[in-house]
Amino acid sequence: MKIEYAGTAWHQAEDSSEARAASEILDGVWRESTTQYVGIREARLQQGLREPKGFQQILNKNIEARFESAGWDGNGGRYRFRDFWLRITFRHQMSIGSDFLDALRMDRKEGVKLSAICACPLDVLRIISPNDATVMTSFEKLKLQAAVLNGVIDVPLMLGALVPNSEISSAVLDKLLLPRPRN
CATH code at position 119: 3.40.91
Q: Assess contact for 119 and 74: CB atoms under 8 A.
A: no
Query: What is the per-residue pLDDT for 101?
Result: 97
Q: How many domains is the chain built from?
A: 1
Residue range 163-182: mean pLDDT, rounded: 89
Q: What angle do CA 106, 72, 111 make, to 5 degrees?
A: 25
**Contacts (Cβ under 8 Å, ≥6 apart) of 73:** 79, 80, 81
Q: With 90 as the cut, is the pLDDT of residue 181 above it?
A: no
Read off the pLDDT of residues 103-137 as tens digits, 9 standing for 90 and up.
999 999 999 999 999 999 999 999 999 999 999 99
End-to-end CA distance of the chain: 29
Please name the helix (run of DSSP H) or strand (run of DSSP E) that holds residue 85, with its range, or none. strand 84-88
pLDDT (tens digit per residue) in 66-82: 999 999 999 999 999 99
Give the single-character DSSP code of 115.
Answer: E
180 pLDDT band, cuts 50/70/90, is confident
Helices (H) then strands (E): counts for the chain: 7, 6
Whether 128 maps to a domain, the answer reads yes
Q: How confident is the model at residue 99 (pLDDT cuts 50, 70, 90)?
A: very high
Tell me how far apart the alpha carbons of residues 77 and 54 are, in angstroms, rounded to a whole number. Answer: 17
What are the tens digits of pLDDT across the range 32-43?
A: 999 999 999 999
Q: Does the residue 39 lie in any domain?
A: yes
Is a pLDDT exceeding 70 seen at residue 183? no
Residues 107, 163: Cα–Cα separation, whole Å: 26
d(CA 110, CA 119): 23
Residue pair 19/171 in contact (Cβ under 8 Å)? The answer is: no
Per-residue pLDDT, 43: 96
Q: Is residue 159 part of a domain?
A: yes
pLDDT at 178: 86
CA–CA separation, 52 vs 31, rounded Å? 18
Q: Which domain holds residue 136?
A: 2-176
Q: How far apart are CA 82 and CA 173, in angstroms?
A: 37
The answer to whether residue 92 is domain-embedded is yes
pLDDT digits (tens, 9 = 90+) for 2-47: 999 999 999 999 989 999 999 999 999 999 999 999 999 999 999 9
Classify residue 183: in a domain, yes or no: no
Please report whether residue 182 resides in a domain. no
